Structure 1
Amino acid sequence: MSTRNPNIAIYFHVHLVSDSTGETLVAMMKASTAQFRSATALEHLHALVRSEAQMTQTLETIAAKPGVVLYTLVNPERRAALQAFCRERNIPAISILDPTLSMLGRYLGAAMTDEVGAQRNLDDAYYSRIEALDYAMAHDDGQAVSGLADADIVLLGVSRTSKTPTCIYLANRGYKAGNIPLVPGAPLPVILDGMTKPFIVGLVASPDRIVQIRQQRLIGLKQDTQTDYIDQDRVRDEMKQARRMFTRKGYQVIDVTRKSIEETAAQIINLYNKSRPIEERRRGLRL
């Protein structure tokens, strides 16, 4: 039975070995290690490992800083080399996609491709994401409001409700998203009322959280913190007015107080999909 003090932090090395960009490994590692609050992963990303020389260098690094190894390698020789190396040194190693690929292979009755980075081919979906990113930047923070008629999603919210990063995340999923800030005393653009395509979402948060974020922003900008921008009563009134307006116009509302950007975006996408006719959902299916 372990007697380790659970309050003592653990630092350990995690080697992420991929013959592609390694983004899948990074996401998996972060999602997994987040479940162990007392542990801190020291990340070593070995991306684009596509030659024997690169694999040799990777193995040398793992030997110098042993820990655990997560990998996605298509090439059978390099997979075998990494597996043998880790097995000889009792280093835990797992190919994170193998269980999923095996299950899909059995279900589909088909062999998988041996193409490296197959999910990142320069196909129509890839160019759609690039177009969506360009769109999000061009329609950020109330810019080019008339162009929002072509948006999939429009976000509204007071300052510091994470409108911009959420739009960027949505764009990376292929959704054309823009945002408009709610400024005290300034009405929303009238053109919004006539738009039928965009799915409009209002973002809200607790006044305390908004004040905290705004204070940190002003400190980072080395600006005066004695301003209405962070006045608790003024911020509370901003949020109250925003909620009333969202309700009056029938917009969907999401509270982002305790949500990550990813969680907020996922909820927006769920609401967006539910609002679309089934036929349109099929035509505009995004991966």
Structure 2
Amino acid sequence: MADGSKRKLQVYFNVHLVSDATGETLNAVMRAACAQFENVMPLEHNYYLVRSPRQLDRVLQEIDSAPGIVWFTISDDALRTKLENHCRSKGHPVLPILDSSVNMLSRHLGLPASERTAAQHSLNEEYFERMEAINYTLAHDDGAGTDNLRNADVILVGVSRTSKTPTCVYLANRGVKAANVPLVPGVPPPKQLLELDGKRPLVVALKVSPDRLVQIRQQRLLSLNETALSSYADDDQVKAEIAKANRLFAQQKWRTLDVSRRSVEETAAAILNLLREES
């Protein structure tokens, strides 16, 4: 029993994320790394847009007051050196998380790396395409803007609580104009959706198992403090709703994805693959 209790204990540790930009890369790496360990809970300390010695001095004080590991993405050589030397002198594990990848790419290309701060966020054509995709996606969420569905890159269709909206937002951040249309019991799908033909926009139907959907909907009702019985999470009603949706998917010959056990990131990655196949 004692051994089982020990295995369930959460392991807490400080992690300091220091960036001269928005810190998106650091956060993504931190989440991916921590996901490889069970029962670990990082205590995040985030320091973004650190671009001057004075800003870095404040960061170093914070690190010293809560020792832990330090991950950073800083382009300026003087600031990098100061951060690394300080951490090593104090015994704080420190890692420039992009260095290995950048160095390998530099060797492969035979080119030196740029030292531009936040170079990945420069206002280039790709940036504006991403902003356009985000604006489109927000305007075509949850069945809105059906008259303009033909301008989408992808349209997600599914019953309630199949993660259509978060998946669309994730895709929009990759520059994909994503709309989503919910299938509501008793309400016919919009004719603009059913009249689409051709490869673009790509329509992807999100399938889910009845057991999984009941579980998700019950959790949703609990989060809303809704304790009364509801057909929204009733086993038989959910099965009937899913069966009707699946018949529509087959009739329309839409591409389908089973999202019963997929994360939003996994669903989005699969959709990106489908888009590449259709291009």
State how far apart, in whole Å, the 1-side matches of 2:61 and 2:20 are. 17
Task: Report which stretch shifted further, 215-224 or 158-167.
Answer: 215-224
For 2:174, the equivalent position in structure 1 comes to 173
Contact residue 72 and residue 96 of structure 2 kept, 8 A:
yes
Q: Secondary structure at the match of 1:84?
A: helix
Kindly state the Cα deviation for residue 6 of structure 1 after the two structures are TM-superposed: 4.1
For 2:165, the equivalent position in structure 1 comes to 164
Task: Report which stretch shifted further, 242-251 or 169-178.
Answer: 242-251
Kindly state the Cα deviation for residue 56 of structure 1 after the two structures are TM-superposed: 0.6
For 1:207, the equivalent position in structure 2 comes to 210
State how far apart, in whole Å, the 2-side matches of 1:77 and 1:168 are. 38
For 1:265, the equivalent position in structure 2 comes to 268
* CA separation of 1:230 and 1:6: change in aligned 2, threshold 3 A: closer
For 2:93, the equivalent position in structure 1 comes to 92
Contact residue 219 and residue 225 of structure 1 kept, 8 A:
no
State how far apart, in whole Å, the 2-side matches of 1:220 and 1:7 are. 25
Task: Report which stretch shifted further, 238-247 or 54-63.
Answer: 238-247
Kindly state the Cα deviation for residue 164 of structure 1 after the two structures are TM-superposed: 0.9
Paired amino acid for 2:72: Y
State how far apart, in whole Å, the 1-side matches of 2:201 and 2:50 are. 42
Residue 227 in structure 1 maps to residue 226 in structure 2: no
State how far apart, in whole Å, the 2-side matches of 1:269 and 1:148 are. 18
State how far apart, in whole Å, the 1-side matches of 2:228 and 2:216 are. 12
Q: Secondary structure at the match of 2:188?
A: coil
Contact residue 214 and residue 230 of structure 1 kept, 8 A:
yes
1:105-147 residue CA offsets vs partner (Å, 9 max, x unmatched): 1011111111100000111111111111111111111112120
For 1:129, the equivalent position in structure 2 comes to 130
Kindly state the Cα deviation for residue 224 of structure 1 after the two structures are TM-superposed: 5.4
For 2:14, the equivalent position in structure 1 comes to 13
1:227-285 residue CA offsets vs partner (Å, 9 max, x unmatched): 21111111011111212221222111111111111110000110111011xxxxxxxxx
Residue 242 in structure 1 maps to residue 245 in structure 2: yes
1:179-216 residue CA offsets vs partner (Å, 9 max, x unmatched): 11111232222332432321000011122222222223
Runs of 5+ in structure 1 lacking a partner? 277-287
State how far apart, in whole Å, the 1-side matches of 2:146 and 2:47 are. 43
State how far apart, in whole Å, the 1-side matches of 2:242 and 2:195 are. 25
Identity of aligned residues (%): 47
Contact residue 13 and residue 43 of structure 2 kept, 8 A:
yes
TM-score by length of structure 1 reads 0.91
State how far apart, in whole Å, the 2-side matches of 1:248 and 1:160 are. 22
1:134-177 residue CA offsets vs partner (Å, 9 max, x unmatched): 11111111112120011100000001111111111111110111
Q: Secondary structure at the match of 1:40?
A: strand
Q: Secondary structure at the match of 1:126?
A: helix
Contact residue 161 and residue 203 of structure 1 kept, 8 A:
yes
State how far apart, in whole Å, the 1-side matches of 2:31 and 2:193 are. 39
Kindly state the Cα deviation for residue 10 of structure 1 after the two structures are TM-superposed: 1.4
RMSD: 1.7
State how far apart, in whole Å, the 1-side matches of 2:58 and 2:210 are. 51
Task: Report which stretch shifted further, 179-188 or 59-68.
Answer: 179-188
Paired amino acid for 1:259: R
State how far apart, in whole Å, the 2-side matches of 1:223 and 1:38 are. 31
1:40-93 residue CA offsets vs partner (Å, 9 max, x unmatched): 111111111111111011111111111111111101111111111111122111
For 1:31, the equivalent position in structure 2 comes to 32
For 1:82, the equivalent position in structure 2 comes to 83
Contact residue 215 and residue 225 of structure 1 kept, 8 A:
no
